[in-house]
Amino acid sequence: MNLAIKYIETIEELSKSNDLHSGVIADFTKEILEKSCNILDCERSNAWLLNNEADKLKCIMSYTKGSNSFESNEVLNKKELPKIFKNLFRNEIIVSNDDQSGPVNTELLENYLIKKDITSMIEIPLRSEGNIVGVICFEHVNKVHEWSDDEKKYTISMAQLLSLALETNRKREYRINLERMVKEKEVLISEINHRVKNNMAIILSLLNMQKGNTKDLYHAELLEGVKNKVYAMSTVHDQLHASGDVNDIDFCIYIKKLVMNLNNSYKKENGVSISLDLENIKLDVSKAIPCGLIANEVLTNSFKYAFDKKNLFPELKVSLKRKGNKIELNFKDNGRGFDSANIKFGMGLDLLIGLSDQVNGDITINSSKGVKVSLVFNCN
């Protein structure tokens, strides 16, 4: 078979290598060096990579056909071989038909060429993102060899394939490091949420103890209000920890827990009929906590102030809907309403507006036929 055809077939075979496409440098380098020695009928082949400072060349793999062996322990220093490094950065293929008598490799003569009986050598730079990163070499021993044009084209193709493998390996390592960093971040955030959850549980316990020690209803209610606000925030972290999702919570589940807690805290003689119309909508922490505090504030006011003994059928409706790129959260009770002139004091309007601003939302309050509060904000 024509040698040129063999070269093409070998190039095609290596270009389909799994090691090339997965960026497994050591294994793919072995493939290139061994196959190339066989098809070029040369005794030795090796690949070298520059260090970050570009003052050392480390042999990543060297193959000797006679012993069918691989090595990877040699290092070449720029201080000792300035001409070699200078030639490398010329970004040119270096062809030596008679290494030991030519001027190109005089620096390598004693310690490399004569020592290993190398007589003819061809060196091709390896590139990554336009930069020289190393070199691949093919070497004949004990006989002078004149490199043909086809051989030169073949060795250039090998350098290109190895350069591609180096690029793939770099991207693979970058991806692995990125995945590791993301995982570490998730673990860290999960641990933070876990600690916050535990700390809030302690705060809730302390508030319960202090509430039990109060001497009057006024201070007991103050502590109950603080406790419910802390609960509203702690529930977010409870869900984050329970779900394993460090960023988002299902706000539908959150609202159900919040309503249940407040209903238990403010039990009414005439039981409140609660209607929940909630879509499964996930909110990230930055939106979940302000929205949770808004829900807590509005629901607390309904349970505390909306329903008196005259209201035989107290009702509370909560809905959570996605409408286009908006999320709408509505609260409606059939209580006695309030005097709009005292809305700031009765509903904590400043707090509600401040919290809605945190989610870039709009909040409206209507007190005809009970109280209806609507919060609308963007999904993203």
Q: Domain 3-176: state its class.
A: alpha beta
pLDDT digits (tens, 9 = 90+) for 6-24: 889 989 999 999 988 888 8
Residues (pLDDT < 50) of the chain are: 344-347
pTM: 0.55
**Which pLDDT score is estimated for 103?**
60
Beta-bridge partner residues of 378: 326
CATH superfamily of the 242-378 domain: Histidine kinase-like ATPase, C-terminal domain (3.30.565.10)
Cα-based distances in Å from 220 to 17, 208, 215, 265: 74, 10, 8, 12
CA distance 211 to 224: 7
pLDDT the model gives residue 346 = 43
| 118 in Cβ contact with 99 (< 8 Å) | yes
Question: pLDDT tens-digit profile of 239-281?
Answer: 777 776 767 889 999 999 888 888 888 776 567 889 999 999 9
Structure tokens at 291: 């929205």
| pLDDT in the model for residue 347 | 46
Domain boundaries defined on the chain:
3-176, 242-378
379, 325 contact by CB (below 8 A):
yes
| 315 backbone φψ class: left, alpha, beta (φ>0; ψ -120 to 50) | beta
